[in-house]
Amino acid sequence: MIRLEDIHQTYQGSQGPVHALRGVDLHIRPGEIFGIIGRSGAGKSSLVRTVNLLNRPSQGTVTVAGRSLTALDSAGLRAARREIGMIFQHFNLLSSRSVFDNVALPLELAGLSRGEIRERVAPLLELVGLGTLADRYPSQISGGQKQRVGIARALASRPKVLLSDEATSALDPETTRAILALLQQINRDLGLTIVLITHQMQVIKQVAGRLAVMEAGRIVEQGDTLQVFSDPQHEVTRSLLDEIVPQELPVNVVERVRTLLGSAGHAPASLLRLTFSGPESDRPLLSDVARRFGLDLNIVHGQIDEVQGHPFGNLAVVATGARADLDSAVALLAGAGVRVQEVVHA
């Protein structure tokens, strides 16, 4: 649906050229919700704005729904943009226009009659849960409702792609969850391809099937969301994931276990950090290795979460027993898809 190839974006700044994007390649499939995440200044907003050529790349090609946007003339680009809706962090509503008329604006600009506009806008307001607020003005509705107006407006031209540029950043957590649930519903009901720009892993966790992580104008990691969450490869990804599942054991836990294992009379033992996701999360692997290898297992720390219904997380376990049995247990766990890190051994 969306293919970006060798995208570069260079701005002329006060101190010289600014390289916002550096050779980005990205393929977003039809009908998926794709997340693009990174810290402020990573280049994610610059990237999403190349999809509809609000920012024309300095180099590279942009293809949407089989059309190369970078090869179109002005008239062709205007027509292509009607198939790409966009919602923004700060809503961008016109205060002098009612909810209905804000949603109707792009249809008025496209030359539709008032009757055609009403036939299209009324169902959209129902879809986003604002059917009873059509005559209100932006000053009379909440932030979450304003964003719903922005979503309805973006859908008015019946796009194939919906771009969301930090659309939930100005909202409280409860409203954010409601807006993300609405985007999921739109994705299911209308089959839209949705691209989410965000700096919040919680947003990615709730709705994105795949994601790309950006840093300094480049994509440093991408893939299936559950896989990336359970086995992040890049330091930036691990840092962003810290807000959901800490990537390192707390120092006090490690030191407490180190002291315990170093005490007189303690049998040979290891502090193991187990990271898991998907089907192995539901298997009784710990009880299995305890029985099979005669180990004593003590869970000293852990956290389990979900990515859209799929569990992932980590546990810190003190495993006590003979070294050969510990090694066999680690091999069994690894063979079952669990990542095992030996943090302390004594």
pTM to 2 decimal places: 0.88
Q: 130, 83 in Cβ contact below 8 A?
A: no
Q: How high is the pLDDT of residue 262?
A: 75
Helix (H) and strand (E) counts for the chain? Answer: 12, 14
Residue 265: φ, ψ to 5° = 85, -5
* pLDDT per residue of the chain (346 residues) written in tens, 0 to 9: 899 999 999 988 788 888 999 999 999 999 999 999 999 889 999 999 999 999 999 999 999 988 899 999 888 988 898 899 999 888 889 999 999 999 999 999 989 999 999 999 999 999 999 999 999 999 999 999 999 999 999 999 999 999 999 988 888 999 999 999 999 999 999 999 999 999 999 999 999 999 999 999 999 999 999 989 988 999 999 999 988 887 888 888 888 888 878 775 667 788 999 988 877 677 788 899 999 999 999 999 988 888 888 888 889 999 999 989 999 999 999 988 898 998 887 6
Residue 182: φ, ψ to 5° = -65, -40
Q: Cα–chain-centroid distance for residue 275?
A: 20
Rounded CA gap, 128 and 149, in Å?
A: 8
> Which two structure tokens, joined as six digits, stand for 188?
């299911």
Fill in the DSSP letter of residue 176. H
Q: What is the sign, positive or negative, of the torsion defined by CA atoms of 108, 112, 114, 119? A: negative
Q: How high is the pLDDT of residue 59?
A: 94
Q: How high is the pLDDT of residue 184?
A: 94
Q: Please, which residues have CB within 8 angstroms of residue 301's CB and are 6 or more apart in sequence?
A: 249, 250, 253, 315, 316
Q: How high is the pLDDT of residue 311?
A: 85
Rounded CA gap, 86 and 157, in Å?
A: 11
Query: Can you tell me which residue has the tokens 């490869």?
Result: 233
Q: Please, which residues have CB within 8 angstroms of residue 95's CB and are 6 or more apart in sequence?
A: 137, 138, 139
Q: How high is the pLDDT of residue 120?
A: 94
Q: How high is the pLDDT of residue 18?
A: 85
Rounded CA gap, 134 and 149, in Å?
A: 10
Q: How high is the pLDDT of residue 159?
A: 94
Query: Can you tell me which residue has the tokens 């810190």?
Result: 316
Q: What is the sign, positive or negative, of the torsion defined by CA atoms of 132, 138, 142, 148? A: positive
Q: 136, 98 in Cβ contact below 8 A?
A: yes
Q: How high is the pLDDT of residue 303?
A: 85
Q: How high is the pLDDT of residue 16?
A: 82
Domains of the chain in start order, with CATH, are: 2-241 (3.40.50.300), 251-345 (3.30.70.260)
Q: How high is the pLDDT of residue 280?
A: 66
A 10 A CB-CB count for 56 gives 12
